Structure 1
Amino acid sequence: MKRSIATLDLRALQAFVAVCETGSMTAAAKRLGVSQSAVSQAVAALEREQGIDLFDRESRPPRPNLAGRNLLQLAEGLLDHAQAVSSRMSELSMGSALPVRFGCVDSFAATVGPELIRAMSGSARQIRMWSGLTPGLVSQIENRELDAVVCTQPTTDDSRIIEMPLFSEPFLAVVSRRWAESNVSGHADWQHVAREMPLIRYTARSVIGQQVERFVRHLGITSPRQYEFDATDPLLSLVSAQLGFAISTPLCLWQARSYLDEIAVFPLPAGRLARRDFFLLHRQGEWDDFAIRVVALTQHVLEHVIRPSLSRAFPGIPDNAFTHSQNLEELT
């Protein structure tokens, strides 16, 4: 039969060390800020747990015997380690030393993500970033596999997860620049585009694909399903080749910005279905400071890096290409 290991009560061990170092129960009690009887009981409990006497009761005052001296030699390291563990846990409870596990949808990770990492590179906060689709990211934060998530159209039943509106962007009709330039005299608009070309879609398994499909039905576009892609780059490769048009967003266009010289955009009718909303998710009481900083940095990157570049590429892009969290309620 396996012998059970007696556990060490660290408070009792602390009392034992104090008695050894001060030479009496009274002095030990004064050092620890407890009563003499509390010290006496702690030492007695330690001896019972270990099944051995630790003091020579014949001496006055009591001195540690051989077993006591051996324990005293070990105790200093044990107590120092316990104090280090306690301090470390205090730091970790505030999240100050842990890297934040940050998940983002692909379009955010590839555009705003690098700027966030660059902005935080000089701080103590370290980021570990993952990208993925919204359903998977929401599942990961629910299972505590991620600490914070940027996603679109989140759905979670966990009341402890906070959904912070981050920003919103409009859907745009995207066509080949060559096609647009050849149709300028005819005052082409999105309706003309939809009549002339098939729609090149995002796949329905992605949230953006589902959102675009709802909007397409709302607009009355009846283009058959022919080309579908998970990512924006292959989608725009077909658009630039004049094989069809797409419905995408400013952030997705910036993600695939190698195609900016080859495409043109047309605004689409405004409305609730006409925009894609982004949210920042994190658990209540956890990573609050990180969440606040992500909101501020995201707004800075969108307004000072991405929007000016897109406006230069597409002078007709809407002024509200990115509407930030404080203004989202006005659009709903």
Structure 2
Amino acid sequence: MHPNFLTVCETLNMTEAARRLGITQSAVSHSVLSLERLVRDQVFDRQTRPMSLTPVGHALFEAAQRVDASFRTFHSTIDKMKAGKIPHLRIGLTSSLPGALVPYLTSAIGEHVDRITIRTGLTPDLRASLMSGEIDAAVMINRQLDAHLVTYSALTEPYILAAPSSFGEVGSLSDLLEISKRLPFIRWIGGYMGRDIEAHLKRLRIYPPERFALDDRNAVMNTIAAGLGWAVITPLSAYDVWQHSTNIRLHPFPGAVFQHSLVAAHKPGQFGWMAERCAAMVRDIIKTRLLPDLTARSPWLRETIIFPQNPSHHES
């Protein structure tokens, strides 16, 4: 909305409005007449002293204030973005990541962002949200995606075995067969992790009977803590519950290396620098904050989580 109109509304005096605007009174009068021709009605009642807004003028003034506020917010947003700060960042985190990561991540991102929205979900759902524009960046399991996304390496972690502490050692495939006979297997259903685990057990010709099927990592871990079964999980997905339970023991998964990688992803041309920083932040938080807790009780985990030496990005 033209600033002449707003200034006249605020002063209700064309002479004073002209003085504030640094233009002539005739220029102010001309702009008001042009506006009245546009709306096909009077916006000021010039018969009163001081002049006043007509009903149409009141409605137009309220609308003009909203437009002016929107423009001010827009210019402020542009200035912040030019300075390298994002007004609102929407991030997706794969549900296998520990909740303990979130406060560290929001704190680290806070210096670059005014407002943060974090959504957790399965990687296929996060991928769909990226492509639809519901989120700006996501930290998720790496796959050959059918969508055109740019990804930055975050880390690689192994699948491990979690069992009640009372069961004892699980160090070989024969031990794995034994536990699958003696205790129910807790399936983690949904997403890539559940599919990876099922496929790997089939390759080993291990077919645990159907008993428990859960879609939440903490529910899986709490069920193990209750002594009701065992599961295949990852160090990070085990973290939240395992840190507070002495009834769970983590074991290396017997046999060949079995792992997955996490990446930070974004659509080409959008939020690239922030996605790259998210990957770096996640690496740093896990390396300095979470991994020491994991290795304090299970030192063998120290070498199993792999952090890229020279992180790079690629389009998939």
The one-letter amino acid of 2:118's match is M
Q: Give secondary structure in 2 for the equivalent of 1:98.
A: strand
CA distance in 1, matches of 2:307, 2:282: 11
Instruction: Write the deviation string for residues 310-332 of structure 1: whole angstroms up to 9, x where unpaired.
Output: 11211222503243484699xxx
Alignment of 1:1-332 (within 5 A): 10=2, 22-23=23-24, 46=35, 48-51=37-40, 84-92=69-77, 96=85, 98-108=87-97, 110-120=99-109, 125-153=114-142, 158-159=147-148, 161-180=149-168, 189-198=171-180, 200-237=185-222, 239-240=224-225, 244-257=229-242, 258-259=244-245, 262-271=248-257, 274-317=258-301, 319-324=303-308, 326=310
CA distance in 2, matches of 1:112, 1:304: 11
CA distance in 2, matches of 1:158, 1:92: 30
1:162 to partner: Cα distance: 3.2
Q: 1:194 to 1:135 in 2, by over 3 A?
A: same
* TM-score normalised per structure 2: 0.70
The one-letter amino acid of 2:89's match is V
In the alignment of these two chains, the number of paired residues is: 292
Seq. identity, %: 18
Q: 1:53 to 1:125 in 2, by over 3 A?
A: closer
The one-letter amino acid of 2:155's match is F
Q: Give secondary structure in 1 for the equivalent of 2:206.
A: coil
CA distance in 1, matches of 2:267, 2:191: 24
- Residues 164, 227 of structure 2: 8 Å contact kept: yes
The one-letter amino acid of 1:295's match is A
Q: Where does structure 1 lack aligned partners over 5 or more consecutive residues? A: 1-8, 29-39, 55-64, 182-187
CA distance in 2, matches of 1:109, 1:328: 24
Q: 1:158 to 1:197 in 2, by over 3 A?
A: closer
Q: 1:144 to 1:327 in 2, by over 3 A?
A: closer
Q: 1:234 to 1:86 in 2, by over 3 A?
A: closer
The one-letter amino acid of 1:141's match is L
Q: Where does structure 2 lack aligned partners over 5 or more consecutive residues? A: 9-13
1:252 to partner: Cα distance: 1.4
- Residues 173, 190 of structure 1: 8 Å contact kept: no
Instruction: Write the deviation string for residues 163-210 of structure 1: whole angstroms up to 9, x where unpaired.
Output: 3332221111233333325xxxxxx52302222121624333232111
1:80 to partner: Cα distance: 7.7
CA distance in 2, matches of 1:77, 1:163: 46
1:36 maps to which residue? none
Q: 1:328 to 1:310 in 2, by over 3 A?
A: farther
Q: Give secondary structure in 2 for the equivalent of 1:189.
A: coil
1:261 to partner: Cα distance: 5.5
CA distance in 2, matches of 1:84, 1:232: 45
- Residues 188, 220 of structure 2: 8 Å contact kept: no
Q: 1:286 to 1:246 in 2, by over 3 A?
A: same
1:31 maps to which residue? none
The answer to which structure, 1 or 2, has the higher relative contact order (CA under 8 A, 6+ apart) is 2
* Bigger CA radius of gyration: 1
Instruction: Write the deviation string for residues 242-290 of structure 1: whole angstroms up to 9, x where unpaired.
Output: 655321111012122223563131244445xx21222323344443453
Question: Please, which moves more after superposition, 284-293 or 195-204?
Answer: 284-293
* TM-score normalised per structure 1: 0.67
Question: Please, which moves more after superposition, 44-53 or 100-109?
Answer: 44-53
The one-letter amino acid of 2:295's match is S
